[in-house]
């Protein structure tokens, strides 16, 4: 069976291209002979992909609304998700940004008015 597959693929892809896939073809034949007909990958060791659905997004949003000065690390610990996922949710899904003087989260859509008020307040305080 392996020789038949090898011959047919050699006709289509050529000798050079097939040299890289010989081991893969051999492994496929072993799986087929072992009556494994499922072509999907088997479960592997390692970190699973995090599916970002509405549940973690709403949880992150709720934590930020409760405490605008909460850090991404604190959110990640409370929700048991990575800091990168928290960052992605905050910036890409919720559209929040960080106001540096107060270190508080705000919605980007209101940025110009909020930033102007912060600048005026800083000028008045530090003048």
What pLDDT, in 10s, does the model give residues 39-79?
Answer: 676 677 766 665 678 889 999 999 999 998 888 999 999 99
* Cβ neighbour number for residue 64 with a 10 Å cutoff: 20
Asked whether residue 41 is domain-assigned, the answer is no
CA-to-CA separations, 53 to 36, 85, 93, in angstroms, rounded: 33, 12, 10
Integer Cα distance of 43 and 16 in angstroms? 32
- The 8-class DSSP code of residue 48 comes to P
Q: How many domains does the chain contain in total?
A: 2
Asked whether residue 39 is domain-assigned, the answer is no
pLDDT-based confidence at residue 127 (cuts at 50, 70, 90) = very low
- Indicate the length of the chain as a whole number: 127
- Say if pTM beats, i.e. exceeds, 0.75: no
Range of the domain at 10: 1-34
| Strand boundaries in the chain, DSSP class E | 96-99, 104-107
- Is a pLDDT exceeding 70 seen at residue 9? yes
Looking at the structure, tell me whether residues 26 and 54 fall in a common domain.
no
Looking at the structure, tell me whether residues 57 and 101 fall in a common domain.
yes
Looking at the structure, tell me whether residues 21 and 66 fall in a common domain.
no
């Amino acid at each position: 069976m392996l020789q038949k597959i090898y011959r047919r693929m050699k006709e289509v892809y050529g000798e050079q291209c097939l040299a890289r896939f010989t081991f893969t073809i051999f492994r496929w034949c072993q799986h087929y002979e072992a009556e494994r007909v499922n072509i999907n990958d088997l479960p592997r060791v390692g970190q699973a992909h995090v599916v970002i659905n509405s549940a973690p997004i709403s949880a992150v949003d709720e934590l930020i609304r409760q405490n605008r000065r909460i850090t991404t690390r604190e959110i990640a610990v409370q929700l048991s998700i990575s800091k990168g996922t928290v960052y992605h949710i905050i910036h890409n899904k919720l559209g929040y940004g960080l106001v540096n003087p107060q270190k508080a989260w705000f919605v980007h859509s209101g940025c110009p008015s909020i930033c102007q008020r912060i600048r005026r307040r800083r000028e008045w305080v530090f003048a």
